[in-house]
Amino acid sequence: MPNFLRQPTWLIVASSVLLAIIAVIRAFVAPSVVDTAAASGMPLSVWLEGARVFSPILYVALVVLAVVCCMVNVLSTSLYSIETGRRTTLPLQIWVLFGCGVVFPQHALTAYVAAFIMTMALKRVARSFKRSYSFGAVFSASFAFGILPLLYAPFAVLYALLPIVWTMTRRTLREFVVGGVGLILPLLATAYIELCRGGEFGHIFEVLGGELSGVNYLGVVRPSAFVFSVVVVWFAAALTITMTTLADSALLRTKPRTMCYVHSVLLVGLLVSVFLGGSDSSLVPSLAVLIALLSPNAFGRDWALVSTISCVAFAVIVVAYNIIALSA
């Protein structure tokens, strides 16, 4: 079996760029109903997507910038998630495969800004993992996570998951308090700004509650049988990577093992949130970040064959999915 962890960098980059180009062309030439699902009604999403009306060229430039920044962060963040001597550029390819291959959201700017913020938050979670106090990293990570629900309501599950994350990284009670303040500060700041504009302080909470009360994700977009099958395979491949990583996590050192647990908890929590709350495909790039960061450990252990077969099969399906759509 080929060693996927040690593929040449140029091959990884070239294949990632090629797949991303194919996915973008397919999204514009033959958009799927999954791509064109309704936009989020959260304030930051509405503000970002307003750039499309203001200047389409500026919008495209901002999307490209967000994608590039996210790709760079995926590579640098992966260095915190795998043990020394196992550093690899594979997360880049995995992120493009899972984050762009199946869907390229119509509201791409918000989707990739959210993924970028997710990478920034995870880098700071990794930096907070140390024996001394880490108030700065805890606060900045929590603040970044707190911004995400203002982009998409299903990210509100982070309000419940962050205490678990800080418990895993062995933070003190003082740091828990600092993290809690950082988490709710963006929401409170938004409410205060709305009040200063003449609105009601609780309006943002009503918007968030209304977004979360939406119906099931797949029920909203009503995909075709083929698209539904691809989405199911996406979830199956994602869970395979997660399970194979956790199966061999005991062999990792303390910090990589802890980060694997953190990434797994966040991934499973967000996957559940996708189905319990109304959402569109714009959440996919952020989920792909977590999958990409789990992938090096999944491909480098005893259960690597399972992950390899899963991802190769998924890659074939993604390529076929895009080519069939373009040729239709």
Please list, in sequence order, all residues whose beta carbon lies within 8 angstroms of the beta carbon of residue 207, skipping any fewer than 6 positions away: 41, 42, 43
Q: What does the pLDDT profile of the chain (328 residues) look like in tens digits?
A: 445 566 667 777 777 777 777 777 777 676 666 565 555 677 777 788 777 777 778 877 888 788 888 888 887 776 555 554 456 777 887 888 888 776 666 677 888 889 999 999 998 888 887 777 778 888 988 999 999 988 887 888 888 888 888 888 888 888 888 888 888 898 888 888 878 877 777 777 777 776 666 544 444 444 455 556 666 777 777 777 777 777 766 666 777 778 878 888 888 888 777 766 555 567 788 888 888 888 777 766 666 677 677 777 777 777 777 777 666 5
Residue-level pLDDT at 227:
57
Contact by Cβ (8 Å): 161, 145:
no
Residue 7: CB atoms within 10 Å: 15
Q: Rounded CA gap, 149 and 159, in Å?
A: 9
Residue-level pLDDT at 212:
66
Share in percent of the chain as helix, strand, coil (round to 5): 75, 0, 25
Residue-level pLDDT at 277:
56
Q: Rounded CA gap, 109 and 163, in Å?
A: 29
Q: How many residues does the chain have?
A: 328
